[in-house]
Every structure is written in structure tokens, then in C-alpha cells.
Amino acid sequence: MKKIVINGGRPLKGEVTISGAKNSVVALIPAAILSDEIVTLDCVPDISDVVSLIDIMEAMGATIERQDDTLKIDPRGIKNMPMPYGKINSLRASYYFYGSLLGRYGEATVGLPGGCDLGPRPIDLHLKAFEAMGATVSYEGNSMNLSTGGKRLHGASIYMDTVSVGATINTMLAAVKAKGRTVIENAAREPEIIDVATLLNNMGAHIRGAGTDIIIIEGVDALHGTRHQVIPDRIEAGTYISMAAAIGEGVQINNVLYEHLEGFIAKLEEMGVRMTVSEDSVYVEKQHDLKAINIKTAPYPGFATDLQQPITPLLLMSKGRGLIIDMIYEKRVNHVAELAKMAGKISTSANHVAYEGPNQLQGAVVKATDLRAGAALVIAGLLAHGKTEITNVEFILRGYSNIIEKLTNLGADIQLVEE
């Protein structure tokens, strides 16, 4: 068991560099299965999800070398094998093995995905796409079997009933080696989709329209190796910007792409956050007199659901009353009860979060219920008077690379403790 212990009230100052995007790399690593040669990824974050994906790939027969933030993946030894149990079940992103294995072998047996409990997150859109391309779906216990019956997947026109990042990426993975043309309509537009499409195109795929709501894929017979740099993590960037605005006395966040955070930064400006946005960094000043705002999450380029929890402690420092409505995940409100334990004036009803500020948070023993809730509690702990202990920190380590080291370098009193 591990926990994070924070002695709060110490202002943050200095510089921090954002790591590669978690939501990209968890798809980029399985995408390497489709290559006939070595794929090298740079700027890979040091997170537990990456460790789990490496373990899964090596169990399948891949040879992987990791040095600092570079991952060298040789997929030539991979064998298609059932993966019903183990680390597969702990990862939401394990579903990307469906698309990559189907694309390479025409068959996949993979355990049902795990990850954070944010309410219903069905994979029916993924399966709809696979079936449209010629796969059949069957279930065996806690795993799913996908098969083309020895045939090659074929292109299809696929309309996503709802905007889904996972289903859009998975369809691309399956379609790049399918026979003919695949068209994805109502596709998600997130930067991570462009990142995955860029990798696949550099491997020899023919993908057009990534970043728009219509993606067209012309299937190819083979994919080759390449070297690819993972984009900066916009959610980690937003988390540190929120943190700097909440308790910073001059913090520069490096390796930030402003165009990935426009909706988020617009809301900070509405609050009155003073910052300087440069080409690849954001400098956040010490703040005064922030005002409460309302937030409603939406698919990209709207306000990201992954950032509504990390911004909440900052909102608790603002003056007035506000409302947060999460339109993506109905259960992404579990951080509210934990913040209330820290004397935050905050409550929830369904997917609505009501808050009032300003607050002086108090240290407490709290629990991370999911990845981004954990990030919110870290920020709250930095703000609070006294000591905060956060349990269930495995969630946090899934998505924030070297978070203890980065915050310590900014002046935080924070430790990861083994119990």
C-alpha cells in the first residue's frame, strides 16, 4: 500500500516540464503491433499504465528497450495469444489491443477493459465498427473473442452514434490494414487521435481527416517501422496550470501546446487568472481576487472532462458561487465528498457540482477514487492547512509522470510513503 503525504501551505515557484500524453501513448504502444519493423517512441511518460502495457507486449513476444523517455518496440516476435486475465483487466486502454490484433491477425481474445470507475463506458461503438468491417464477436467469461474467420478485414462506412475517442482510435487501428476504404463519420477530434494517425501514417498507413469529424482510411498491405515523438499531455499541463494558479508564486509550465488547451485557458481567463501564454509554455503569476465561474464539459475542443476535477480546488479559492456540469461521465463527481472532508463548501447532485468560495481547506485523510480525482486531491492538499494523506494513489501514478519529483522541485512538501 502506498499513500501520498502533503504538508500544505507552501507556495510553488519555478519551472516544470510536461511529459508525453498518457491518452496518446496508451494507444501508440498497441499500435506498434501493426508494424513489421521496429517502432521507436520518444517522450514516453513514466507512468504505471506504460509499465503495464510493456509487460503485456513482452508477454506476447515483443522485444522492448526503455531508456529514459524513449521506448524501442520490436513487434516481430509477437504471437497472437489469448490475454483474458492479469494486467489487461486493470487498464481501460487494453481495448486498443482489439483493434491492433484484429488488424494484424484477424483475431483477438482479450480481457474486458478496466480502469477508473466513471460510470457506464460501453465499448459497443468499438464492436459496431469491428462488425462492420467483417469481424464477429463472442464472449468467454471475462474476455471477448473477435474473429474474421481467417479473412482480411474489409473497409466500411461507420457512423459513431456518440463522439468517442477510444472507438475512433480503435477503428483506425483495425482499418489501416483492411481491404479497401473505411470512412468514420462523427469521429472524435481530440489531439491524441491526430497523434495516433501521425504515427500510423509515418508507418505507411493512408489516413486523412484526423482532427476533423470525418476520417478516411485507405487500407494497406504492410506497415514499416518509424520514430515518433509523443505529443505533450494537455491534461497534465492543465493540472499544473490549475495548481500554479491556486498556490503558485510564479510558475512556468514548459512543453505546452496552447491550441490543445484553448477551452480550458478561456475559462481561467474568465476567472481572472493572470498568465502569459507563449509558443510552448505558460507562465502563471501569483493570483488575487479570482471570481467563481460555471463550467460544462464537452467533447474536444470544448472543456475536457479530464480537467473538471483538477480545476475544482482552484474554483474553491474563487469568490462567489458556481456550478460544474459534466456531460461526459456521470460519476466524475466522486472527488466532491473528499473535498468536503477538507472543509470545502461543495456538494453534488447527479452530474452537477455546486461550490462556493473562497475556502480555507484543511488537511485530512482522503481517498483518490480515480485518476483525475486524485490530481484534485493533490492540489487540495497543497492548498490546505496541515497534513493531508491521500490513499489509493495507484490511480494517480497511472497518469502523472514523476509527480512527486516535479512538485518537490517546485517547493512542495510532498512524499510517496510505503505502508
* DSSP SS3 for 246: helix
Q: Quick one: pLDDT band at residue 118, thresholds 50, 70, 90?
A: very low
For residue 87, the 8-state DSSP code is G
Q: Which of 102, 108, 116, 379 is catalytic?
A: 116
Q: What is the pLDDT of residues 7-49, one digit of tens each?
A: 999 999 999 999 999 999 999 999 999 999 999 999 999 999 9
Binding residues for phosphoenolpyruvate: 22-23
Grid look-up 493533490 returns: 378
Mean pLDDT of all residues in 273-286: 97
Lowest mean pLDDT among 75-89, 198-212, 222-236: 75-89
Binding residues for UDP-N-acetyl-alpha-D-glucosamine: 92, 121-125, 306, 328
**Tell me: domain 22-229, CATH 3.30.430.20, correct?**
no
Given this model, what pLDDT does residue 332 score?
86
Burial label, 79 (beta-carbon count in 10 A; 0-12, 13-18, 19+): exposed
Mean pLDDT of all residues in 308-323: 98
The answer, yes or no, to whether residue 121 has pLDDT greater than 60, is: no
Peptide bond connecting 313 to the previous residue in cis, omega within 30 degrees of 0: no
Q: Could you state, in order of their start, the residue ranges of all structural domains in the chain?
A: 2-19+232-418, 22-229
Catalytic annotation on 43?
no
The answer, yes or no, to whether residue 119 has pLDDT greater than 70, is: no
- Mean pLDDT, the chain, integer: 94
Torsion angle, alpha carbons of 406, 412, 418, 419, to 10: -150
Given this model, what pLDDT does residue 18 score?
98
The answer, yes or no, to whether residue 122 has pLDDT greater than 70, is: no
Helices (H) and strands (E) in the chain, counts: 13, 23
The answer, yes or no, to whether residue 109 has pLDDT greater than 90, is: no
The class of domain 2-19+232-418 in CATH terms is alpha beta
Mean pLDDT of all residues in 142-166: 92
Task: Tell me if domain 2-19+232-418 and domain 22-229 are identical in fold.
Answer: yes
Mean pLDDT of all residues in 128-142: 90
Instruction: List Cβ neighbours of 375 (8 Å cut-off, separation of 6 or more).
Output: 239, 309, 310, 396, 399, 400
Lowest mean pLDDT among 11-20, 116-125, 324-333, 351-360: 116-125
The answer, yes or no, to whether residue 116 has pLDDT greater than 70, is: no
Q: What is the DSSP string of 163-176?
A: --HHHHHHHHHHHT
Q: What is the pLDDT of residues 353-403, one digit of tens each?
A: 999 999 999 999 999 999 999 999 999 999 999 999 999 999 999 999 999
Mean pLDDT of all residues in 97-122: 74
